[in-house]
Chains A and B, each alone.
Chain A
């Protein structure tokens, strides 16, 4: 059936809320031509010869239909997330969002190439974010894409953007050549801490599925996200990243939340007996998680009985550290109009916006204003 026969946009009336709405996970997508145009002649040759990186094993496994995007999010030309007009119409305006944090996932597959090339790709992506989205739309904030496997060049890119307040964090993936606590990556954390920028670890990257073998099903891969995130948290805490950089803040994006409570229980319990194994840890492992980590909501675990989510969040005990994320324009998008109903009333306002405003130092919507 033809879908071009749509006579009119849906045009639903806007709901305005009294609280600030921050969307902590919006995926823009830079068109290939826009990246190419921002590369030097030498790197452009490489781009022309090979295009974007050849898909590694994860990309060869069955993926979700429609490339994992909302069917209505495709602009007339190009990929979902490439058209600012549509991002405004379907997300920022539709849901009256105060601030939206951009997370360009292209850098998750650009970062393990020849180091200078990987750095050039990330730099082009950041320039595109800045010129096409941040300059044009004050509600948006950017994440600094970095060549993850070349931390010296990554640190350079962080320093290059550190003075632009519109870039509010550094983008890390959950899949790298080594565990993310390893010292190889510390120059990234040093540069982020020095710039006062949080690190946002978004699921995906070099190895999307940790453990033995590859998944046969997309369902299998998708639900594994939380486990990938748990291994990143575990590695960073145990290797002593936060003893070296106590002010470093890490946002776990798109990895679920509920797993963190049992992880904290297990860590603290084992640490009681094995603390001599990790003499560099100054406090119980859960204390690092509670002080240095933030979580985003999409995809949040949804128990059969919605009340159990409240119980779970209570166990996690990170009320001020949970931030709403829509994951626009992906297929598992969470509507900012429906999501608040999931959260216990006392946590709602914080999750939907004010927690993110505190972390990213963004202004909150004036309270008394009736909008």
Chain B
């Protein structure tokens, strides 16, 4: 399933969005121009992982000296602070535990007004939803009303609709 998060210009760097897809909650993060998406469910005890703080990797050459890497690369769960790599969902505590689930995020440019499902335009102010119910052509043959249930290919050749 593909979920549209929001328009690119409404999602500045350093912010996050949490989207709901059925029962699933997914956190989408923008770090600079990179996007990451993780399941909003911490494998440790089920905390809302994507409400946590993000942080960068730290490097230290000697005690008292440390360097922060550029960019936020880790996400710390708000409950017990387990840290997960934003890109892979790998945690760095509990090595036996499964990583948090991650998802692919892409930025797509669509011609103005065009929405999924492909090519269907907004109609009367309504935006097309993700589902398309199957329809059948109906026509009148002499005194009879006939519904056509022939195969998709043949049906598409048909102009459809009642006459």
Contacts and interface: CB of A to CB of B under 8 A. Distances in A.
A86 to B, nearest CB: 13
Nearest to A333: B79
A118 B75 CA distance: 43
A65 to B, nearest CB: 8
B47 interface: yes
A290 B51 CA distance: 43
Binding site secondary structure of chain B: loop
Given A10-B40, A331-B79, A1 B15 contact: yes
Interface of B: 6, 14-20, 23, 25, 29, 31, 40-41, 45-48, 50-54, 72, 76, 78-81
A337 B46 contact: yes
B53 A71 contact: yes
Contacts of A13: 23
A10 B54 contact: no
Given A2-B16, A335-B45, 20 more contacts: A1-B29, A3-B16, A3-B53, A5-B16, A6-B18, A7-B6, A7-B17, A8-B18, A10-B51, A11-B20, A11-B25, A12-B41, A71-B51, A71-B78, A72-B79, A332-B80, A333-B80, A335-B79, A337-B46, A338-B46
Nearest to B13: A1
Interface of A: 1-3, 5-13, 65, 70-73, 331-335, 337-338
A27 to B, nearest CB: 15
| Closest A-B pairs by Cβ, 8 of them | A71-B78, A5-B15, A72-B78, A10-B48, A1-B54, A335-B45, A338-B45, A72-B51
Contacts of B51: 3, 6, 10, 71-72
Given A1-B54, A71-B53, A6 B16 contact: yes
A233 B155 CA distance: 82
Nearest to B6: A7
A7 B18 contact: yes
Contacts of B6: 7
